[in-house]
Structure 1
Amino acid sequence: MEFEDGSRATKYTTLAAGPGFRHELEIRRSRFITVLRRSADEDAARDLVTGLRREFHDARHHCSAFVIGPDRMVQRSSDDGEPSGTAGIPMLEALVKRETAPGVTDLSDISAVVVRYFGGILLGAGGLVRAYSESVSAALDRAPLVDRNRLRLCDVGVPHADAGRLENELRSNGFVMAETRYEARQAVLRMALPDTPSAIGEAGSRVAALTAGASVLEPRGTEWIDVPR
């Protein structure tokens, strides 16, 4: 069976959709304002930085990091005037190394910007690394996260008279039914399945068994959905 492999991952963790999340720390008189926002692409991530530069126009630094894509292939960071390697990279590592479950590091489609108001006390390179890393980690501790799952939509054509029975039987077997479409010659049941060969193979076998081989599973497109934690 052929799969659409624009990305290999079928599940990852991201920030809940919405205007974003903010958290502030004060470290040795400097204010570190962290803003997290869900970002589907690099343009959205850069737009966040641009907007915060306008909002906090009098701040000295607007450091940023973002991770994009189900397979986290796009990763960028910026020190924005802080000593090289003391802000953007620690922020990026806080995102990339974040455990969303024991042993699982799959956080993606998320941008982090830390706005710093200098408080007059130099933190040194080590202090800056800790401050920027801690700022992002503390925000993630409080931010609403969701699971994002890729589902494979599959169609099953059956006679009109059998549609209701088959749909009920599939539901009772634990399958997610997306919709039923009634056409001139048949009814088409749509299933939403985990986008893995094993899950689709199991569903195909179940459809064949329930219809005595009269109907087959026809894979269609995919769809990403958010699942609250």
Structure 2
Amino acid sequence: MFDRDIYSDLQHRLITNDFDHGEKLRAEQLKRDYGCSASTVREALFRLSTEGLVDFQEQRGFRVPEKSAAVLAELTHIRILLEGEGTVLSIRQGGVAWEARLTAAHHQLSHIEKRIHASEDPTDLVPLWFQAELEFHQTLISACDSATLKAMHVQVYRRFRQQLMIADRSFDFISKNIQHHHAIMVAALDGNEDLTRQKIHDHLARHLGGAFSAQAAQRFKSSAM
């Protein structure tokens, strides 16, 4: 029987460093964690495997996906395309209400990032940052009027975040993040579509690696024309 609370909690744990990359997800252990049947856990894991957050193979069972530079680069490129297109559509269609939501989402994220930047141990701020960062990027595309684009974005975002669930906890990127998020917001509020696409690309470009980086840059230029 499907249990949405167990599914949601597992989904959250899978993208916030509660499991290691490549770790086997044992239904017997998880059923004890949640006080439910093994079949309930398996149903949640099967659903999560359709989202790419869990790998499933016959005879091997369920595992957390391995960390992969190639997968991260691909997910990053897709994020750039989806967020660029979604934000441009929001600029055209969102109006004052969307601008107000974007300003509020940025204010919350900026406040948390500045506190992280000033903190020697930002551990307690990590859950707040995860949520605020997602909300900011979701708000960028929230007025695009495409349920399909938004659904694809959140699925890609979760897989992207899972790939970075360990690396991002060092927060050595946070000062640039503060600048990048502000630049994206300003460009979007100014209605500058080309600059907004470019700032979104610049924000995520550090995750594009090697040959894929050059290929993705060319695709970005083509998609923006």
TM category (shorter chain) comes to under 0.3
More strand by share: 1
- Normalised by the size of structure 1, how large is the TM-score? 0.21
Larger Rg: 1
- Normalised by the size of structure 2, how large is the TM-score? 0.22
More helix by share: 2
Q: Which has the higher contact order (CA 8 A, sep 6+)?
A: 2
